[in-house]
């Protein structure tokens, strides 16, 4: 019975929600029936990221341009964390002024005490209100590090989507 009521309402369910969850009149305040029989999860579709982004605590704009990253480094207004492995920095190079914390260590590193962080990574532990910019080789791992920092309560976090490859390309054009 509840399922029949759900199907009658499918035309009224917004497309974004329809792609992920079917809700019916028994699920809303004042509706009839029980909640247990009316929520049906469906396979995840293309709008899922948009749906979660809407309710995410991640800032809407997290990308930093090359020019902005240069400004932040020059003014020492951000902590730049490179999440590549140490061998990658030795082989390819690194952005001057950045701290190397491999992606697998970001969660633990951001929870260390200030002295232990400084000893292990050679820089100051960023405060939860500090501006942090994550970078990597091509912008994929830095986005993961950004998400990790947000879950740990860091407020002003961004990433440089160009990564080391974008940095080198821009530096060579100067």
Unique residue bearing structure tokens 């990221």: 49
- Report the alpha-carbon distance of residue 108 to residue 159 in Å, rounded: 19
Q: Which long-range contacts (CB under 8 A, 24 or more apart) does 84-90 make?
A: 84/136, 84/137, 84/141, 84/164, 88/137, 88/164
Angle formed by the axes of helices 66-74 and 163-172, to 10°? Answer: 90
Taking residue 131's Cβ as centre, other Cβ atoms within 10 Å add up to 16
For the chain, the C-alpha Rg in angstroms (whole number) is: 22
| Residues tagged active-site | 136
Strands (DSSP E) found in the chain: 21-22, 40-41, 79-82, 99-100, 131-135, 156-159
């Amino acid at each position: 019975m509840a399922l029949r009521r759900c199907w009658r309402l499918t035309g009224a369910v917004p497309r974004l929600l329809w792609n992920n969850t079917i809700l019916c009149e028994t699920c809303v305040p004042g509706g009839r029936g029980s909640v247990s029989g009316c929520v049906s999860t469906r396979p995840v579709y293309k709008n899922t990221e948009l749906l979660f982004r809407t309710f995410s605590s991640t800032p809407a704009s997290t990308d930093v341009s090359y020019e902005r990253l240069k400004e932040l480094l020059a003014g020492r207004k951000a902590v730049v964390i490179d999440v590549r492995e140490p061998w990658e920095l030795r082989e390819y190079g690194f952005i001057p002024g950045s701290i190397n914390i491999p992606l697998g260590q970001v969660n633990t590193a951001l929870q260390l005490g200030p002295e232990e962080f400084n000893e292990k990574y050679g820089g100051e532990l960023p405060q939860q209100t500090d501006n942090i910019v994550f970078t990597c080789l091509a912008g994929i791992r830095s986005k993961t590090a950004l998400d990790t920092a947000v879950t740990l309560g860091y407020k002003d976090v961004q990433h440089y989507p160009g990564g080391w490859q974008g940095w080198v390309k821009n530096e060579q054009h100067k």
